[in-house]
């Protein structure tokens, strides 16, 4: 049986970009060690696009891409924080930065290491996370 979903709120540092996700109260958080994630400390919660709603800040987001340009990294133009993005491993979903999530509705969380240094060998392990 699938876990019951709850609403989690999140935002960038200055709160110009605000959003919510539908996810379980007990969260799996992946900590990737690829060059991008390791440099800015992104901790991933991957959800299907249908479970993400951007509330404010659409005009205050700038996009960064690199390498294959499939991943769309979204940064707040004001504070520079990347609170969510479209990952290359899950282009049908969003990866939410756990560090930007309000913890009010988080019952538990587990941070699991993800081998992003060997991304090509491991990315398929994440594909199921953006499925309904």
Tens digits of residue pLDDT in 3-29: 899 999 999 999 999 999 999 999 999
What's the pLDDT at 81? 97
Residue partners of 100: CB distance under 8 A and separation at least 6: 10, 11, 12, 81, 83, 84
Contact 79, 36 (CB under 8 A): no
Instruction: Give the global pTM.
Output: 0.93
Taking 70 as the threshold, does the pLDDT of residue 1 lie above it? Answer: no
Mean per-residue pLDDT for 64-92?
94
DSSP category for residue 126: G
Which percentage of the chain shows pLDDT scores above 90? 83
- Average pLDDT rounded to a whole number, residues 44-69: 96
Give φ, ψ of 10 to 5 degrees: -155, 170
What is the per-residue pLDDT for 5? Answer: 96
Kindly tell me if the per-residue pLDDT of 90 is higher than 60: yes
**What pLDDT, on the 0 to 100 scale, is given for residue 128?**
87
Q: Spell out the residues 6+ positions from residue 53 whose beta carbon is closer than 8 angstroms to its own.
A: 19, 20, 21
Cα distance between residue 10 and residue 94, in whole Å: 13
**Distance between CA atoms of 3 and 119, rounded to whole angstroms?**
28
**2 or 87: whose pLDDT is higher?**
87
Kindly compute the dihedral angle of the four CA atoms of residues 106, 115, 74, 45, in this order, to the nearest 10 degrees.
-20
């Amino acid at each position: 049986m699938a876990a019951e979903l709850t609403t989690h709120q999140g935002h960038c540092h200055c709160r110009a970009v605000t959003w919510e996700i539908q996810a379980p109260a007990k969260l799996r958080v992946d900590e990737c060690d690829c060059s991008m994630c390791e440099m800015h400390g992104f901790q991933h919660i991957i959800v299907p696009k249908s479970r993400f709603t951007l509330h404010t800040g659409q005009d205050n987001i700038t996009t960064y891409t690199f390498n294959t340009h499939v991943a769309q990294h979204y940064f707040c133009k004001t504070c520079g924080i990347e609170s969510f993005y479209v990952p290359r491993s899950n282009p049908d979903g969003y990866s939410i930065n756990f560090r930007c999530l309000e913890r009010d509705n988080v019952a538990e969380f587990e941070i699991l290491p993800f081998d992003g240094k060997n991304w090509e060998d491991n990315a398929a392990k994440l594909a199921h996370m953006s499925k309904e």
